[in-house]
Amino acid sequence: MMRPALREDDFQTEKKVILEEIALYQDRPHYRLFEKLMAEHFGGHPLSHSVLGTGESIQALKREDMLEYFNRRYSPGNVTLVATGNLDWDALVAQASSACGHWKDYSVSRDTPGSAGTARTDAIVDAKLLRQHIGVMSAGPDARDERRYAACVLATILGDVVGSRLFYALVEPAIAEEASCTYEPLDGTGIFLTFISADPARASEALQIARGEYDKFMAEGPTDLEMTAAGNKIASAATLKGELPMGRLTALGFDWVYREEYKPLAEHIEQIFAVTSEQVRELAKQFDLSAATVLTLGPNEQAKT
């Protein structure tokens, strides 16, 4: 798998699979909104590019292009092997050396610049959709920033799917069907991402209420009760994820790729509970949740903020 032959027939078959996948995702409003929102928010930044690519870029791709990319990027210096569980470390290293020791090592580098975002407002009109989908994206701490723990707490208090401020402000009173806020720590930058789905007639109202919640949070900060509840939610989710092999592998892999560190799950949880309400409030003001890129998708002809 790590050293494929990249035969022409297989390459052409896989291109068709990717094209079908792109078409499939275009039928999912949340995906369409997210892809376009990333492009709008990051502008000319590398993160503005779709992971899957476009139909045009996939169609134009040749086997020689993929081979050149593979040789340039799939180098030992750009690959991390992660293992977790009841394993024999020396045996693992020996197996990896035996299977991969002959790989050629290429010089690999890439830019990971920060980004404050564009703070644009735009709309995608699709009369076939029955709901108005709203995406709000603002800057957040990157994956190396110790403030990422406070950012996780902030997003949980503001936008957890149940029991958050957006839930009580929008979902419980039936102004919106969905309302959530998440924090994504990325390489060199980060984002706070709010998704709202509502009746088109109430979409503008829902967005105004969400903005009001941002402003209130930056002015007042979280309560002690919210801090405790958020810490418990994050710790419980991390613990459950850590009990699954893939969940633990993913966490270990990101820790090493982003920060070249190994941190036990218990230490991550300790740092979540060490976050103070003042740190969360200061973070909200530092990254200014209202300075956001806003994109709507649905039958409404314009994005109203």
Give the model's pLDDT for residue 301: 77
**Burial grade of 185 (CB within 10 A; 0-12, 13-18, 19 or more):** buried
Q: Nearest-CA neighbor of 192 among 127, 296, 287?
A: 287
Query: Residue 285 is encoded by which pair of tokens?
Result: 């003001």
In this structure, how many other beta carbons lie within 10 angstroms of the beta carbon of residue 100?
13
Give the model's pLDDT for residue 36: 96
Domains of the chain, each with CATH number or no CATH: 8-100 (3.30.830.10), 121-298 (3.30.830.10)
Distance CA 115, CA 44 (A): 10
Give the model's pLDDT for residue 72: 83
Distance CA 226, CA 199 (A): 29
Give the model's pLDDT for residue 110: 80
User: Measured on CA atoms in the order 69, 72, 78, 83, is the torsion positive or negative?
Assistant: positive
Contact 290, 215 (CB under 8 A): yes
What end-to-end distance do the CA atoms of the chain give, in Å? 48
Distance CA 102, CA 97 (A): 8
- What's the chain look like in SS3? CCCCCCCHHHHHHHHHHHHHHHHHHCCCHHHHHHHHHHHHHHCCCHHHCCCCCCHHHHHHCCHHHHHHHHHHHCCHHHCCCCCCCCCCHHHHHHHHHHHHCCCCCCCCCCCCCCCCCCCCEEEEECCCCCCEEEEEEEEECCCCCCCHHHHHHHHHHHHCCCCCHHHHHHHCCCCCCEEEEEEEECCCCEEEEEEEEECHHHHHHHHHHHHHHHHHHHHHCCCHHHHHHHHHHHHHHHHHHHCCHHHHHHHHHHHHHHHCCCCCHHHHHHHHHHCCHHHHHHHHHHHCCCCCEEEEEECCCCCCC
Predicted TM-score (pTM) of this structure: 0.91
Give the model's pLDDT for residue 305: 46
Contact 183, 164 (CB under 8 A): no
Per-residue pLDDT of the chain (305 residues; tens, 9 = 90+): 788 888 999 999 999 999 999 999 988 999 999 999 999 999 989 999 998 999 999 999 999 999 988 888 888 888 899 998 888 999 999 999 999 888 888 888 888 888 999 999 999 999 999 999 999 999 999 999 999 999 999 999 999 999 999 999 999 999 999 999 999 999 999 999 999 999 999 999 999 999 999 999 999 999 999 999 999 999 999 999 989 989 999 999 999 999 999 999 999 999 999 999 999 999 999 999 989 999 999 998 765 54
Give the model's pLDDT for residue 85: 86
